[in-house]
Amino acid sequence: MNTTMRNSRSGDALGLPLWLVLSFAAAAVGGVASAGAPAFYARLAKPSWAPPAWLFGPAWTVLFLLMGTAAWLVWRERGRTVARRALVLFVVQLAFNALWSWLFFAWQRGGLALAEVVLLEVLIVATTVAFWRVRPLAGALMVPYALWVAYATALTAAVWRMNPALL
């Protein structure tokens, strides 16, 4: 095996932890805003189909693992312009992901959180399509995230409507 191939493979291996760290950094930024979320979430009126509070942590952990892995798969195609564009979309949607927790939990702005999560869903779908074009597996890994955020969008709308005094 030549040195270029070995260096490329080691670079690929280093890329996975970096994309996971970036994904979980977005989670951490949102997590700071969610420090008081359990108590606030418990006070909110919620629809019967709302998940229990304990489910959010494990669900988001799995989703961030899938997202980071998907980004890494696309990053491995880094010589392609389409991959660069897809990764820019990925980073933008990560920023919007982190912002939602601030809008909803820290600032308690339900209407803005709803508008933002709708935009986030559009960005996720665009990222999923862009990832799929580069590497179908990467796009497939984004699908659970897109579905969860679609559910979260409906939940945000319902909770906002049910809690006009709090949100």
Is residue 14 domain-resident? yes
Is residue 32 domain-resident? yes
Question: Residue 9 pLDDT more than 80?
Answer: no
- Would you state the pLDDT for residue 8? 57
Question: Residue 30 pLDDT more than 50?
Answer: yes
Question: What confidence tens digit (pLDDT) does each residue in 112-141 have?
Answer: 999 999 999 999 999 999 999 999 999 999
- Give me the number of domains the chain comprises: 1
Question: Residue 11 pLDDT more than 80?
Answer: no
> In which band, very low, low, confident or very high, does the pLDDT at 66 lie, cut at 50, 70 and 90?
very high
Is residue 167 domain-resident? no
Return the CATH number at 71.
Answer: 1.20.1260.100
- For 2, phi then psi, to 5°, come to -80, 165
Q: Burial, 69: exposed, middle or buried (Cβ in 10 Å; 0-12, 13-18, 19+)?
A: middle
In one-letter notation, the amino acid at residue 108 is: Q
Is residue 19 domain-resident? yes
- Would you state the pLDDT for residue 10? 59
State pTM to two decimals.
0.91
Average pLDDT, stretch 45-71? Answer: 97
CA 60 to CA 128: how far, in whole Å? 17
Is residue 47 domain-resident? yes
Is residue 134 domain-resident? yes
Question: What confidence tens digit (pLDDT) does each residue in 69-121 have?
Answer: 999 999 999 888 999 999 999 999 999 999 999 999 999 999 999 999 999 99
Is residue 157 domain-resident? yes
> In which band, very low, low, confident or very high, does the pLDDT at 12 lie, cut at 50, 70 and 90?
confident
The domain of 89 spans 3-162
Average pLDDT, stretch 144-156? Answer: 98
